[in-house]
Structure 1
Amino acid sequence: MANTQSATDLFIQHFDFWPKLSAEEKQLLSENTKIVNYSKGDHVHQGPLDCIGVVFIKSGQLRVYTLSEDGREVTLYRLFADDVGILTASCALEYLTFDVYIDAEEDTEVLLTEVAAFRRLADNNTDVRCYAYQLATQRLSEMLWKMQQVLFLSADRRLAIFLLEETEKNGGDEVHLTHEQIARYMGTAREVVSRLVKYFNQEGWIKNSRGCITIIQRDSLQELAGNQVDM
């Protein structure tokens, strides 16, 4: 089976518990891992309604977010190629009850390990269980950092942080996102982002063009961001 072999190869490369699995456990993992494709805009995980398993992103991008009581979305973090999504299997991990929503931001291909198989591995193999909780802890830390920004930092400071973090990920000075996308990722209104982008542009810190923001004065943005940038 081509899909099984592909899954096996990727598990060997990216999951540090693979060498510690028995032959039977490796077979269980491979036989219950399949390639799944999502189109841009698809709902991958719908909070408490879902527990699909562990996803390994081969290509594309997923957005993890939570919903307020009035339906406002707050982006918690994004998953890119080579990232692992563990909160889509939260029902397999005892005491992990934080529900999130996940959408495909681009056409995305993932390897999906079914939750029943992963739960069986985590229950019987300490290395798998420790890996899962360590990854969940890392994701929860990212979520708390995002909520801290939304609750306690001003919008201009959050935009500075966002632009610096995005260019750090991309390895350049450009952010190729619309104001609407930035607002969704920041958990604010598009009008707020547009107003701040105009202000940053007038100050000479950035150059704004359609669908692209270029950082001109990185030091000024770093000064505004303070020591809050998570590089």
Structure 2
Amino acid sequence: MNEIRQSLHFLSEDLLQKIEDTASIKDIPKNTEILREGQFVKVIPIVLSGLIKVFSRFKEKELLLYYIRPNEGCIMSFAASLKNNPSKIHAITEENTRVLLLPVDKVNGWIQQFPSINTLFYEQYNLRYSELLDTISHVIFDKLDQRLYNYLIEKSKLTKQNPIKISHRQIANELGTAREVISRVMKKLEIERKVQQHTNSIEIKEL
């Protein structure tokens, strides 16, 4: 249980003990759906290692909202669980991921008994709010070639990969556009020598 204490070191000893007694740790393979829109939240995930992608879906299109990195939790799951509302987002593992699962029925009681747990979720609110503002700003003000290049750089940093194993269709889904558009813009970035496309991956040339 040392990994719980390392990730949640700022919590009180009494609360850490309760988490160790009631929460569970699970290893989830890459590309596993862990939450979908309309599903009621029973556990709140805290990532210990790996990466989770959180996105919304409108008809056939997806829009990337944020990633949950190690030592972070899913604030949208937390918000839905507080009022017992169905989830408004989808979440899927981007890598093999190890998560701490906090049972919702216990978390609601801990909030009253141990105010320090609010630190975790308030920090997540601030982080996600800032990220969503950045996303909105990029969508409104940035040209697609700049959005795409910034997206690839961020993806490379998160996954610690370059080249990145990703398809044009996946990129299009996460940026909320069409595959054909991404293919055209990717070719422009390649002509500008910012990226190089391989058979199953994309290499960023100016990192």
TM-score category (smaller protein):
0.7 to 0.9
Alignment of 1:63-102 (within 5 A): 63-68=53-58, 70-93=59-82, 99-102=88-91
Match of 2:151 among 150, 153, 162: 162
Matched, 1:14 2:3: no
Please state how far the C-alpha of 1:180 moved relative to its aligned partner: 2.0
Q: Residue 166 of structure 2 contacts residue 201 of structure 2 at CA under 8 Å; is this kept in 1? A: yes
Match of 1:38 among 25, 28, 40: 28
What is the distance in 2 between the residues matched to 1:99 and 1:137? 19
Alignment of 1:183-198 (within 5 A): 183-198=172-187
Q: What is residue 19 of structure 2 aligned with on the other side?
A: 29
Structure 1 residue runs without a partner (length 5+) = 1-5, 219-231
- TM-score, normalised by the number of residues in structure 2: 0.83
Q: Residue 62 of structure 1 contacts residue 79 of structure 1 at CA under 8 Å; is this kept in 2? A: yes
Percent of counterpart pairs with the same letter? 23
What is the distance in 1 between the residues matched to 2:161 and 2:92? 26
Please state how far the C-alpha of 1:32 moved relative to its aligned partner: 1.8
Q: What is residue 58 of structure 1 aligned with on the other side?
A: 48
Matched, 1:146 2:146: no
SS at match of 1:176: coil
Q: Residue 60 of structure 1 contacts residue 108 of structure 1 at CA under 8 Å; is this kept in 2? A: yes
Q: What is residue 222 of structure 1 aligned with on the other side?
A: none
Please state how far the C-alpha of 1:108 moved relative to its aligned partner: 3.1
What is the distance in 1 between the residues matched to 2:100 and 2:206? 40
Runs of 4+ in 1 over 6 A off after TM superposition: none
Aligned amino acid, residue 92 of structure 2:
D
What is the distance in 2 between the residues matched to 1:140 and 1:48? 22
Match of 2:111 among 112, 122, 129: 122
- TM-score, normalised by the number of residues in structure 1: 0.75
Residues 171 and 58 of structure 1: is their aligned pair in 2 closer, same or farther, counting only changes over 3 Å? closer
Aligned amino acid, residue 114 of structure 1:
P
Please state how far the C-alpha of 1:13 moved relative to its aligned partner: 0.6
Q: What is residue 194 of structure 2 aligned with on the other side?
A: 205
What is the distance in 2 between the residues matched to 1:83 and 1:121? 18
Q: Summarize deviations over 1:70-98 as a string: whole Å, max 9, x none.
A: 3421011122444433322224557x998
Superposition RMSD in Å: 2.7
Please state how far the C-alpha of 1:144 moved relative to its aligned partner: 3.0
Aligned amino acid, residue 109 of structure 1:
R
Please state how far the C-alpha of 1:139 moved relative to its aligned partner: 1.9
Please state how far the C-alpha of 1:140 moved relative to its aligned partner: 2.8
Larger RCO, structure (CA 8 Å, separation 6 or more) = 2
